[in-house]
Structure 1
Amino acid sequence: MASLTPASARRALYYPFHLCHEQTLARLLEDYRAIHFRDYMALQLTPMSGTTAYQDRMGQYHPEMIEMGRIVQGYSVSGPLDAEAVTAVDRDLADKTWRAAFHDGLKNNRRFQRGLFDLSHSFVVGGSTVPGPAALLRLLEETHLAQACSVEQVQALSRRRLALDESYVYEYALALVKTSAALVYTIRLCRQHTLEAVTDSEIHFRLLERTCARDGISLENKRILREGY
């Protein structure tokens, strides 16, 4: 673990996850006085559907850092998206450049892929259990790039019983929404608390850079290169 003495007055929000690798944390603590973490993001698409929440936090593993103020946590990003967040997510989903970067990451970056889909064994889609490799092939089809997508469309799909083909459309679209929403909350928290955004995920870094450039958002966005872990 890095020195307990902060190297600067800079403060950062780690994104897009609620936990980070120990080696990433050590490097962050070398560069920043405090590292802020969100809670696990459990989106509620409709009153009857949503994603599962996990209760673990970084501070559970480093209580001394909480006491010293080096780790700050407890930012809730769960529940339904508000109107402002829906509008921001829909801008990402309508952006061909953003969508292409997402699809490229899904195709070529295993860590990004694993963060969205557990395809190590079998994958449950549309009530059917499909081998992971077969499901991945369907999710990587280029037709997804041309498929219009919005929060409202994902909500509508979540309310229906879907055939297998539609279920793949839904799973891909839900992954788009979750990825964009995590970045929307990143921007919001950084602005509210005057934080730099920092990540060790190449694809999320690229996507946030695109969003900020497109929407004229001024935000310090840093990427930590993961080497050997």
Structure 2
Amino acid sequence: MNQPRQPRALFYPFHLSHPDTLTRLLARFATVHFRDFMALQLTPMSGVTAFQDRMGMSFPELIASGRLVQGYDVSGPLRPAVAAAVDRDLQDPLWRQLFHAALCRNRRLQRGLFEPSHSLRIGDSLVPGPAALLRLMDDSFRSQSYDLTQVRRLCRNNLTLEEGYCFEYGLALVKTSASLVYTQTLASTHQLQPVTDSPAHFALYAQSCDRESWPNINHLLVRTGY
């Protein structure tokens, strides 16, 4: 009698995990799969520089054994199907509510989008990180209408300070949504099970799955002590 295949995990939404999370994933799944850093290109004249670090740099023995798989590309321009799904996230009031609550309270999501300890370029101004983040937490952003077209329109030089904040919030929405849409795409294409140790991203992905009628396989590892 054939034994059922052990499930294979796709870690999301980040391209790296804490070593303790990786250990727990390896105890539960046959293989653990990682994307590369997501460097989106919103317009032909703009883009994000990709980080070259990968999990395999710290765990070459897991790469050699085949238990850690990496190199899934999620960079470059958004394909039409991905862009359409991102717009549906941005226009979903419940998804937006979950995102804004996480932006206000979840340091892990904050650090994945900004570096609050450093100054941020907002429009043509350099703003201290804590002050910029506090402004982006304003509830007016939660109810402000956003779509990809609007964010792309703001992706330019010579923005005012207020336009700069609108762009940063919109870009944070797009990056978060795109990372989750790519999660579903990779999981479906490669028959992987999405797993995260970020409760905020778990809730956002669950909402997208419910709305889009995607498969609702979605695992959360709760971090304790690390």
Whether these two folds match at TM > 0.5 is yes
1:34 maps to which of 28, 31, 35: 31
Q: Which runs of 5+ in 2 are unaligned?
A: none
TM-score in terms of structure 2 length: 0.96
| Correspondence for 2:191 among 194, 209, 215 | 194
Identity across the alignment (%): 55
Alignment correspondent of 1:5: none
Aligned to 1:129: 126
Per-residue CA deviations over 1:122-143 (Å, capped at 9, x if unaligned) read 2221121112222122100111
How do 1:135-154 and structure 2 match up within 5 A? 135-154=132-151
The 2-side partners of 1:209 and 1:161 are apart by 38
Aligned to 2:77: 80
**How many angstroms apart in 1 are the aligned matches of 2:119 and 2:79?**
34
- Alignment partners' CA distance in 2, 1:179 and 1:135: 18
SS of structure 2 residue aligned to 1:45: coil
Asked if residue 61 in structure 1 is aligned to residue 77 in structure 2, the reply is no
Closer/same/farther in 2, CA of residues 53 and 76 from structure 1, 3 Å limit: same
Q: Calculate the TM-score normalised by the size of structure 1.
A: 0.94
Aligned-CA RMSD value: 1.0
- Counterpart position of 1:118: 115
Aligned to 1:94: 91
- Give 1:49 shift: 0.6
96-105 vs 141-150, which deviates more?
Answer: 141-150
C-alpha contact 1:39 1:75 (8 A) present in aligned 2: yes
Runs of 4+ in 1 over 4 A off after TM superposition: none
Matched, 1:10 2:7: yes
The counterpart of 1:210, out of the listed 207, 210, 225, is 207
Structure 1, residues 27-70: CA drift from partner, whole Å, max 9, x if none? Answer: 00000000000000000011111112011111111111111110
Of the structure 1 ranges 142-151 and 189-198, higher mean CA displacement relative to structure 2 is found in 142-151
Report if the CA contact (8 A) 1:196-1:219 is conserved: no
1:60-91 deviations in Å (ceiling 9; x for gaps): 11111111110011110000001000100000
SS in 2 for 1:37: strand
- Please identify, of 44-53 and 168-177, the stretch whose mean Cα deviation from structure 2 is larger: 44-53
DSSP-derived class of the 2:42 partner: strand
Amino acid at match of 2:74: V
Match of 2:172 in 1: 175
- Contact 2:210–2:216 under 8 Å retained in 1: no
Per-residue Cα deviation, 1:95-152 (whole angstroms, up to 9, x for no partner): 0000000000000111111111111142221121112222122100111012111111
Residue 102 of structure 2 corresponds to residue 105 of structure 1: yes
Residue number in structure 2 paired with 1:23:
20
Structure 1 unaligned segments of length 5 or more: list them.
1-7
Instruction: Identify which of 153, 158, 161 aligns with 1:156.
Output: 153
- Compared CA separation, residues 195 and 219, structure 1 to 2 (3 A): farther
- C-alpha displacement at 1:160, in angstroms? 4.8
What SS does the corresponding residue of 1:182 show, helix, strand or coil? helix
Report if the CA contact (8 A) 1:201-1:223 is conserved: yes
Deviation at 1:207, TM superposition (A): 0.2
